[in-house]
Amino acid sequence: MAKAVRLEEGVVSLLRDLMEAGIIEAVVTLRSVPQERSVVWSLVPLPEALSSVHPWFPSMPQNGAKVVSRLSKQMDNSSRLGVVLRPCEIRALRELAKLGQTNLDCLFIIGLECLGVFPLERIFSEETEIFQVERDYLEHLRAGEDIPGIRAICRACENPLPDLADLGVWARGQASPLLLAHSPKGARALETMFSPLEEVEIPAASYEILSRRGEEAQRMRQRIKETIRGFEGLTEIFGPCIGCHNCRSVCPLCYCRDCFFTSACFDYPPEVYLHRLQHRRTTRLPLDSLLFHLGRMTHMAGSCVACGMCEDVCPAAIPIAQIFKTIGAEIQQLFGYEPGKRLDEPMPLVTFRTDEFQDIGG
Span 74-103, pLDDT tens digits: 888 888 999 999 999 999 999 999 999 999
**Overall pTM surpassing 0.85 (yes/no):** yes
Instruction: Flag residues of the chain having pLDDT under 50.
Output: none
CB 165 within 8 A of CB 182: yes
201 with 221, same domain: the answer is: no
Per-residue model confidence (pLDDT) at position 56:
95
Per-residue model confidence (pLDDT) at position 26:
95
Query: Each residue of 269-307: b (16+ CB within 10 Å) or e?
Result: eeeeeeeeeeeeeeeeeeeebbebbeebbeebbbbbbbb
pLDDT in tens, 258-304: 888 887 777 778 877 778 788 777 777 677 888 899 999 988 999 99
122 burial level (CB within 10 Å; 0-12, 13-18, 19+): middle
d(CA 226, CA 67): 35
235 with 335, same domain: the answer is: yes
136 with 223, same domain: the answer is: no
227 with 129, same domain: the answer is: no
69 with 155, same domain: the answer is: yes
In a domain, residue 298? The reply is: yes
10 with 141, same domain: the answer is: yes
Beta bridge partners of 198: 4
Per-residue model confidence (pLDDT) at position 194:
87
197 with 289, same domain: the answer is: no
In a domain, residue 358? The reply is: no
Per-residue model confidence (pLDDT) at position 36:
64
150 with 211, same domain: the answer is: yes
- Print the domain residue range for 69: 2-215
Per-residue model confidence (pLDDT) at position 107:
97
Per-residue model confidence (pLDDT) at position 263:
75
Question: Which of 190, 215, 240 delimits the end of a domain?
Answer: 215
37 with 134, same domain: the answer is: yes
Number of domains in the chain: 2
299 with 247, same domain: the answer is: yes
Question: Which of 172, 198, 215 delimits the end of a domain?
Answer: 215
Query: What 3 state SS string does 240-306 have?
Result: CCCCCCHHHHHCCCCCCCCCHHHCHHHCCCHHHHHHHHCCCCCCCCCCCHHHHHHHHHHHHHHHCCC
Per-residue model confidence (pLDDT) at position 1:
65
